[in-house]
Amino acid sequence: MQYFWKHHIFKLFLLFLFFPVLIKGQSANEAYNRGLNSMALKNYEDAITNFNEAIERIPHFYDAYFERGRSHLYLNDFEKAINDFSNAIEYKSDFADAFLYRAHAWSATGNHIRAFEDYSQTINIDPDNLQAYLKRSEIHIRNSNLKPAISDLTKVIELGHKNPNVYLNRGKLYEQQGDYESAFNDFCKALEMDSMHAEVRFERGIVLFKKEQFEEAAHDLSLAIQHGVNTQYIFQLRADAFFSSGEFEKAIEDYTTLINTFRQRNEETQFKRALAYYFAEEYEAAIRDFTRVIGQNRNHVEAYAYRADSYYMLGRESQAMNDFSLAINIDPENPIIYEKRGVIFLNTGKITEALEDFDKAISLNPSSGNFFNRAAVHAANENMSSACKDLRKAAELGHPEAKARLKVYCL
In this predicted model, what pLDDT tens digit does every residue of 136-191 receive, in sequence order?
999 999 999 999 999 999 999 999 999 999 999 999 999 999 999 999 999 999 99
- Contact partners, residue 299, CB within 8 Å, separation at least 6: 330, 331
Domain boundaries, the chain: 19-129, 344-411
Most confident of 24-33, 241-250, 377-386: 241-250
The third-level CATH classification (topology) of the domain covering 344-411 is 1.25.40
Q: Quote the CA–CA distance of 339 and 359 in Å, as a whole number.
A: 9
- Strands of 264-306 (E only): list them: none
Task: Find how far residue 381's CA is from the centre of its chain.
Answer: 54
Report yes or no: 202 and 221 within 8 Å, Cβ to Cβ. yes
pLDDT band of 405, cuts 50, 70, 90: confident
228 burial via Cβ count (<10 Å: 0-12, 13-18, 19+) = exposed
Q: What's the whole-model pTM score?
A: 0.85
pLDDT tens-place string over residues 8-51: 444 444 334 334 444 455 799 999 999 999 999 999 999 999 99
CA distance 233 to 349: 46
Please work out, in degrees rounded to the nearest 5, the angle formed at the alpha carbon of residue 208 by the alpha carbons of 203 and 213: 160
Q: What is the DSSP letter of 399?
A: -
pLDDT in tens, 112-150: 999 999 999 999 999 999 999 999 999 999 999 999 999
Nearest to 109 by CA among 70, 81, 68: 81
Homologous superfamily assigned to 19-129: Tetratricopeptide repeat domain (1.25.40.10)
pLDDT digits (tens, 9 = 90+) for 268-277: 999 999 999 9
Nearest C-alpha neighbor of 281 from the set 306, 264, 261, 257: 306
Q: Name the residue among 266, 289, 269, 263 with its Cα closest to residue 277.
A: 289
Q: What torsion do the CA atoms of 236, 240, 242, 248 make, to the nearest 10 degrees?
A: 100
Q: What is the pLDDT of residues 287-301, one digit of tens each?
A: 999 999 999 999 999
Looking at residue 129, the DSSP 8-state letter turns out to be -
371's CB contacts (< 8 A; 6+ apart) are: 362, 390, 391, 393, 394, 397, 399, 402
Is-contact 304 322, C-beta < 8 A?
no
Topology alike, domains 19-129 and 344-411: yes
